[in-house]
A and B are shown apart, each in its own frame.
Chain A
Amino acid sequence: MPSYRTPLSRARGLGSAKHGVGHWISERVGAIALVPLTLWGAFGVLRLAAGDYGAAVAWIGQPVNAVLMVLLIAISFWHMQSGLRVVIEDYVHEALGKTTLLVLNLFLCGLVGALAVFSILKVALAGA
């Protein structure tokens, strides 16, 4: 059955991959969110470095700190995965090697990010 859609209709707003614009925008929105989150995180590191284990547990026990830390970890690991993905795509051209590195990057960010989020939640919820 022939398609009656015009080429312009097919191309408009989608690009050849059909989801390129959404991916590009999500990368930028994540980057914008990381501006305040990482600045907060930098001062969190200063505070944590000056205290001991008990102080760190009490700090993460505060709901605002626990939630901001989970958001910082989740968005950072997504951003890292997207960034290193572009680096791999730029420099590694051999198909199997490239695919292997892309999958490793995704799995590493997913695994370590999930471990970090779970750790924060465990500490935050244990004290309540």
Chain B
Amino acid sequence: MSELAKGAREPPLSPHLQVWRWHITMATSILHRATGVALYVGALIGAAWAISLASGPDAYATFKAVLGSPIGKVVMFGLTLSFFYHLANGIRHLAWDAGKGFEVRTADATSVVVFAFTLAATIALWVIAFMTGAL
């Protein structure tokens, strides 16, 4: 910007996050990226599971104790939400890649479907976990 002649106006910048009217499709877009980064960490935890299994019973018991602790369960619950969200919204992205579902009303409706699926599937999985003794 400093090389502009004196008196010349700076060129306008494209509007950033804080001036957009909040919209559900914007939330789904941001959350897709955020849950993707969360699942990156989740996959590293999954790799730690495999490595602990190959390291023997003691390492495996330590791994299970960490994930079974209250903090571990909170992390796993967050990863379950992230997984079902990223899965459902990823399928929505694949539909877009095929050229389907771009209409505003359709995109709004599928946003709601993604949120509903995420909540229902997460609750269902944790109920199954509770009933099968996985918790």
A residues neighboring B (CB under 8 Å): 28, 31-32, 34-35, 38-39, 41-42, 45-50, 53, 56-57, 60, 69, 73, 76-77, 80, 83-84, 87, 112-113, 115-120, 122-123
Contact = CB atoms under 8 A, between A and B. Distances in A.
The 4 closest A-B pairs by CB, nearest first: A119-B54, A49-B134, A116-B47, A119-B50
Given A116-B51, A119-B53, A119-B54, A46 B61 contact: no
B117 to A, nearest CB: 13
Interface of B: 33, 36-37, 39-40, 43-44, 46-47, 49-51, 53-55, 57, 60-61, 64, 67, 80, 83, 87, 90-91, 93-94, 97, 125, 128-129, 132-135
A31 B53 contact: no
B50 A120 contact: yes
B134 A57 contact: no
